[in-house]
Amino acid sequence: MRIEIAGQNALIVYFADRTDSAVSAQIQAAVASIRDSMRDCIVDLVPSYASLLVIFDLDRSDYFAVRRRLHAALTGLDSVDGAAGELITLPVYYGAESGPDLELIAERGGISAADVIEIHQQQEYRVYAIGFAPGFAYLGEVDERIAAPRLATPRQKVPRGAVAIADRQTAVYPSISPGGWNLIGLCPTRMFDPARTPSMPVKVGDRVRFEAISRDDYISLGGEL
Amino acid sequence: MSGFVVRQPGLLSLLHDRGRYGAHDLGLTTGGPLDFIAFDWANRLLGNDPNATCLEVSFGGLTLEADTATSVVVTGAEAPCKLNGAEFPQWQTVDLAPGDRLEIGFAIRGTRTYLAVSGGFDIAPSFGSSSTVVREKIGGLCGDKLQAQDHLPCSGGVQSTHYRLDAGDRPRYGDFARLRVVPGYQQDAFDAVQQWRFFSSEYRLTERCDRMGFRLEGESVHSQMVGMLSEGICLGAIQIPADGQPIVLMNDRQTIGGYPKIGSVIAQDTARLSQLSPGAAVRFDAISIEQAHNIHCLERARFERTRMQPC
């Protein structure tokens, strides 16, 4: 573990050079520990793949005190068998109509579109980070057979709920936005709804499973085409 | 509720309080006034809560019509300000009567003006803040910049004592700024030569400067990073992508990103940077974290000790 300066009121903790579920679990435990013991001076925490950005209130503390307290809060975390997080199931209407890049991914992997759909549902994903846009959760890691690089030319408009793959990550677009990920389906669950509490169905450290639904189910669950 | 009607919204006029904190875990950015120094003065001159909602008027072109008696202050960039067609001074309390027309013209020096009203604009907070982030469709009025015919609610009330800030105490806006940087993040991935180039060269603001980030051009700088995991980005972080041209990340930055960063500009200087126009020049000065803290405390003390003049 390494703590570096990020900015005038921010430090960044690097937990590892690469990511996996153990590193992510450790970061999740760190977030809980810091929230618990440093509430008086922490403004924001940004957990990501292998790091945690800690933004503090410069009117309440300074770099040196925060660094010292971070050390204390993070001591002993190495051995924590990170809480598994909640398991959330997200329904997906897969297919050519909802996932224009499904065929492309199948061709790349030398498998059928049905295989892509099957493989995407086979495993549990971990929420590694939330960012890019409100409610955008980076889920990893997808099976290598269905991994695919970002599109050379990003789309101007990706629909809300689009289920997508980029490299070995998968995500559900929380709102209409430009985007370069490969689209394989549509999810009727709102990933970000400011009017609701909580506004997101997932948080960093949670586990996500995808489950195929029919077009009719997608519509009846509030999905739009 | 009483308030103002927007007659001309200007190029980019946004409602802001001090910013949205504690919501990064949802992917929500900070927002808030780009130039918090001018913003803080606007509220202080009216005796408002420091977090009261103001209007940030980028570049200018705003016309409002009051439907209540209230007091206002305009700070920030120097711009022709008119009340019913007659010029009025910035950095000082001005009273408005119902039906009065307030104009903030296009900025002459600096780019962002701040309009505060007595008691602040009355905007329901979302995720703890009224700050408008258009990209996220959050805050302000329906998450958007001002539009013609929008109604800006405020409780009204005329100030009994008027204040102004002496010219000598006001920030000066020009076409150059020294940006103080706390080296950090991936600074070790930039070798000594690259760091020397970065800290000894002059950069210019490109046309691509917005509330998310200011793209600069000049001597290109390269790191030895090959691929990195996305990580949290703080205000002022200086991201250097493969083309070697720095981007200073501002209030509406994405909360995570995967480009190498050489360090971060301190908040006092992202505020100054935000008042510059494309073509303006900047230089970066490396400072220690101790100096960065000291500047924060000194500027805070100076702000609190500077007297406003009754007028």
> Which residues from A are below 8 Å from B130, CB to CB?
none
A64 alpha-carbon distance from chain centroid: 31
Instruction: Give pLDDT < 70 ranges for chain B.
Output: none
Which residue from B25, B26, B293 is facing A62, i.e. has the nearest CB?
A: B293
> Would you tell me which CATH number, out of the four given (3.40.50.300, 1.10.3720.10, 1.20.1250.20, 2.40.100.10), belongs to the domain A87-220?
2.40.100.10
Best mutation site among B21, B26, B294, B303 for testing chain A: the one with the most A CBs within 10 Å? Answer: B26
- Does position A83 have pLDDT exceeding 90, yes or no? no
Q: Is B184 close to A130, i.e. CB distance below 8 A?
A: no
For residues A196-220, give the mean pLDDT: 96
CB contact under 8 A, B237 and A7: yes
The verdict on a CB contact (< 8 Å) between B25 and A46 is yes
Interface test with A, best of B190, B212, B231 (most A CBs within 10 A): B231
Give the 3-state DSSP-derived string for A56-108, with helices as H, strands as E and coil as C.
Answer: ECCCCCCHHHHHHHHHHHHCCHHHCCCCCCCEEEEEEEECCCCCCCHHHHHHH
Q: Counting every residue, how long is chain B?
A: 311
pLDDT tens across B153-169, in order?
A: 999 899 999 999 999 99
For B31-61, how does the pLDDT look when each residue is reduced to its tens digit (9 = 90+)?
Answer: 999 999 999 999 999 999 999 999 999 999 9
- Specify the CATH architecture of the domain B176-305: Beta Barrel (2.40)
Ranges of each domain in chain A: 2-79, 87-220
Task: Write down the pLDDT at residue A117.
Answer: 98
CB contacts of B232 in chain A (<8 Å) are 6, 10, 12, 46-48, 51-53
According to the model, what pLDDT value does residue A153 have? 86
Task: Measure in Å the smallest separation between the Cα of A175 and chain B Cα atoms.
Answer: 9
> ipTM of this model?
0.96
- Overall average pLDDT of the A210-225 stretch: 97
- The reply to whether A87-220 shares the fold of A2-79 is no
Contact A198, A180 (CB under 8 A): no
Over 90: is that where the pLDDT of A84 sits?
no
Contact at 8 Å (CB) between A129 and A219? no
Banded model confidence at residue A152, pLDDT cuts 50, 70, 90: confident
pLDDT at A169: 94
Structure tokens at A123: 């495993």
**pLDDT beyond 90 at A77:** no
pLDDT above 90 for A154? no
Q: How confident is the model over A120-127, as a mean pLDDT?
A: 96
Q: Which residues of chain B are in CATH 2.40.100.10 domains?
A: 176-305
Q: Check whether A57 has a pLDDT greater than 60.
A: yes
Q: What pLDDT band is residue A82 in, cutting at 50, 70 and 90? A: low
pLDDT at B186: 97
pLDDT at A141 over 80: yes
Residues of B within 8 A of A175 (CB-CB) are 137
**Helix (H/G/I), strand (E/B), else coil: A200:** coil
The answer to whether the Cβ–Cβ distance between B22 and A43 falls below 8 Å is yes
pLDDT of A79 strictly over 80: no
> CATH number of A2-79: 3.30.1360.40, 3.60.15.10, 3.50.50.60, 3.40.50.1110?
3.30.1360.40
pLDDT more than 70, % of chain A: 97
- Angstroms from B289 CA to nearest CA on chain A: 7
pLDDT of residue A81 exceeding 70, the answer is no
Amino acid at B161: T
Question: Token pair 């930055």 is at which residue?
Answer: B253
HEC letters along chain B: CCEEEEEEECCEEEEECCCCCCCHHHCCCCCCCCCHHHHHHHHHHCCCCCCCEEEEEECCCEEEEECCCEEEEEEEEECCEEECCEECCCCECEEECCCCEEEECCCCEEEEEEEEECCCECCCCECCECCCEHHHCECCECCECCCCCCEEEECCECCCCCEECCHHHCCCCCCEEEEEEEECCCHHHCCHHHHHHHHHCEEEEEEEECCCEEEEECCCCCCCCCCCCCEECCCCEEECCCCCCCEEECCCCCCEECCCEEEEECHHHHHHHCCCCCCCEEEEEECCHHHHHHHHHHHHHHHHHCCCEEC
Q: Work out the minimum CA distance from B249 to partner chain A, whole angstroms.
A: 12
**Global model pTM greater than 0.90:** yes
Cα–Cα dist B228/B259, whole Å: 7
Q: Please, what is the average pLDDT of chain A?
A: 94
- The shortest CB-CB distance from B264 to any of A6, A51, A131 is to A6
